[in-house]
Amino acid sequence: MNIARTAAPPRTSTASSTSGLPPLRLLIAAPRGFCAGVDRAIEIVERAIHRYGAPVYVRHEIVHNRFVVDGLKAKGAIFVEELDEVPDGAPVIFSAHGVPKSVPAAADARGLDWLDATCPLVSKVHRQAERHVVAGRHILFIGHAGHPEVIGTFGQVPDGAMTLVETLDDVTALPFTDGGALGFLTQTTLSVDDTAAIVTALRARYPDISGPRAEDICYATSNRQVAVKAIAPDCELLFVMGAPNSSNSQRLVEVAERCGARAMLVQRASEIDPAWLDGVTTLGLTAGASAPEALVREVIDFLATFRTVSEETIVTTEEKMVFKLPRQLAD
C-alpha cells in the first residue's frame, strides 16, 4: 500500500498558548466522507427539486446524516418513512440504501412519479440475489438485522428465500446440509475483517456454496477502513464523523479501536468536550461515507480554538468512482 502524506501549516490557538496546552498533531484519513453513491443520491434529490419544484418526497433518509437531510429539507425535500405518507401526484425518491420490490410496485399502482436513488453497488447485490433464486439456491445474507439495506435486499426475493447471518455463531447454527444449494451475499457497509471471517466459516462448512468473486462490501467502505488502519495506531484518540444509524461509520469506530486507539462517533463539532482531549497529543479524524467534508472542517476549526493544531493528511488511495444519474434526470 502506497501512503502519501500532506501537511498544512500549523494553526496557532491563543487559548492554547496562554493555557500551556501542548500542540495537537491531527492525522486526517483519506479517503473519507462522501462516496460516489452518496454524491449521486444527494444530486438526485437536488435535481428532482429543480425539475418538479418543491416539495419532493423522499422515502426514508436519503443517506444517514442529519446535516445532509436538514440541508435538503431546507431546499424543499420532505422525508417520510412510508409511501402512504406521500400525497397523490407528488414525486417520490427512494433512498440510497435500496427498497423492497413492493415499494416501487405500490408507487406504480398509485401512479406516482418515482426516482430510485439506490446506490448502484447495492442494486448489484439485488441482481445477484435474483440470480441465486433463479438458480434454485437459498441465500445466506451477511448483514445487520433491521438495517434499511438488509430490508431492501430481503425484499428482492420471495419470502423464505434468504437467511440473515450476523455472526460466526450464526454460521454454526445454520440448519442447511447441502452447500451446493446455497449462495451467500453481503451488505455493502460491513467490517471487512469481520465479514471475511464469516465468509471463511461459511466456505469451511459449505465448500460448494456459491458466492461473489469478492465480497459485496463496497469500495468506499473498504477504502475508509484501510485509511483508518493507517492512522489509528499512532493516535491516542480518533473521531469518526458520522451518525449513530450509519453502519459504515460505526464500523470505522470498531476498526480504530481494534488498532488500539480510543475512538468516538461524533455528529457535529458542538458535541465535542475539550476535556476528551486531555493528555492527547495525536488525534485521528475521519468521516463515514455519508458525512460531508464541511463537518470535518467544522471539527478542525473548533479544535483550533483551544489547541495549536498541526494537520497531516494520510492518503492511502485515490477514489475516482462516479455513478450515472437516473435517465429522468440526466442532462
Q: In degrees rounded to 5, what are phi and psi of residue 315? A: -105, 120
Between CA 45 and CA 57 the distance in angstroms is: 9
Q: Mutual orientation of helices 192-205 and 219-231 as an angle, nearest 10°?
A: 120
State the helix-helix crossing angle for 66-75 and 36-52, rounded to 10 degrees: 20
The number of residues in the chain equals 331
Q: Distance (Å, rounded) from C-alpha 296 to C-alpha 7?
A: 16
What is the rounded radius of gyration, in angstroms, for the C-alpha atoms of the chain? 22
pLDDT of residue 18: 44
CATH of 120-205, one of 3.40.50.300, 3.30.230.20, 3.30.750.80, 3.40.1010.20: 3.40.1010.20
- Residue 256: CB atoms within 10 A of its CB come to 27
Indicate where the chain has its CATH 3.40.50.11270 domain(s).
Answer: 36-116
Under DSSP, is residue 211 helix (H, G, I), strand (E, B) or coil? coil
Assign domain 4-34+219-315 to a CATH class: alpha beta
pLDDT score of 328: 86
The yes-or-no answer on residue 85 being catalytic is no
pTM of the model: 0.92
Cell numbers of 130, please? 435474483
Catalytic residue among 149, 254, 298, 319: 149
pLDDT at 324: 95
The CB density around residue 328, as the number of other CB atoms within 10 Å, is: 14
CA separation for the pair 241, 178 (Å, rounded): 43
Query: Per CATH, which fold does 36-116 belong to?
Result: Rossmann fold (3.40.50)
pLDDT, block means (10 residues), the chain with 331 residues:
68 57 95 97 97 96 95 98 95 97 97 96 97 97 97 98 98 93 96 95 96 85 97 98 95 97 97 96 97 97 96 96 90 65
- CATH 3.40.1010.20 region(s) of the chain? 4-34+219-315, 120-205
State the Cα–Cα distance between residues 253 and 228, nearest whole angstrom: 9
* DSSP for residue 311: E
DSSP string, 51-94: HH-S-EEEES-SSS-HHHHHHHHHHTEEEESSGGGSPTT--EEE
